[in-house]
Amino acid sequence: MLQTSRKGQWFQIIIPQKWEGLTLDDLFRHKWEAPKKLTHFFRMEHKVLLNGNNANWNNPLIPGTKLQLNLFEEEESEIPASYFEIPILYEDDHIIVFNKPPLMSTHPNQINLEKDTLLNAAVFHLQTNGEIRNIRHIHRLDRDTSGAILFAKNALAGAILDRMLEKRTIKRTYVAVVHGLLNSKKGTLHFGIGRDRHHATRRRVSSSGQDAVTHYQVVKVDQGKKLTYVKCWLETGRTHQIRVHFSHIGHPLVGDTLYGGQPICNRQALHAAKLEFIHPFTEEQIICYAPLLDIPTIFKGVDVYSL
Query: Cβ of 176: how many Cβ atoms within 10 Å?
Result: 26
- Give the domain extent around 261: 172-272
The string of pLDDT tens digits covering residues 274-284 is 999 999 999 99
Torsion-angle region of 51 (φ positive above 0: left; ψ -120 to 50: alpha; else: beta): left
- Cα separation, 109 vs 263, whole angstroms: 26
Decide if 250 is inside a domain.
yes
Q: Where are the alpha helices (DSSP H) in 4-117?
A: 24-26, 36-44
Residue 187: CB partners within 8 Å, gap ≥ 6?
215, 216
pLDDT for position 215: 97
> What CATH number is attached to the domain comprising 230?
3.30.2350.10
Distances 161 to 32, 34, 73, 150, 265 between C-alpha atoms, Å: 9, 10, 20, 9, 34
- Among candidate residues 25, 26, 92, 142, the one labeled active-site is 142
Residue 191: CB partners within 8 Å, gap ≥ 6?
205, 212, 244, 245, 248
Using alpha carbons only, how large is the chain's radius of gyration in Å?
A: 22
Is 116 annotated in the active site? no
Decide if 153 is inside a domain.
no
> What CATH number is attached to the domain comprising 37?
3.10.290.10
pTM of the model: 0.94
Decide if 100 is inside a domain.
no
pLDDT for position 31: 96
> Which of 14, 45, 70 is at the close of a domain?
70
Decide if 165 is inside a domain.
no
At 5, which helix (H) or strand (E)? strand 4-7
pLDDT for position 36: 96
> Which of 41, 70, 99 is at the close of a domain?
70
Decide if 235 is inside a domain.
yes
Class of residue 167 by CB neighbours under 10 A (exposed 0-12, middle 13-18, buried 19+): exposed
Start-to-end C-alpha separation, the chain: 25
Number of folded domains that form the chain: 2
Decide if 133 is inside a domain.
no
Decide if 140 is inside a domain.
no
Instruction: Report the chain (307 residues): mean pLDDT per 10 consecutive residues.
Output: 95 97 97 97 96 96 97 92 97 98 94 91 96 94 97 97 95 97 96 92 94 97 97 93 97 97 96 98 98 92 95
> Which of 70, 92, 116 is at the close of a domain?
70
The string of pLDDT tens digits covering residues 94-113 is 999 999 999 999 999 888 88
Of 54, 56, 107, 99, nearest to 82 by C-alpha is 107
Decide if 304 is inside a domain.
no
- Cα separation, 156 vs 101, whole angstroms: 27
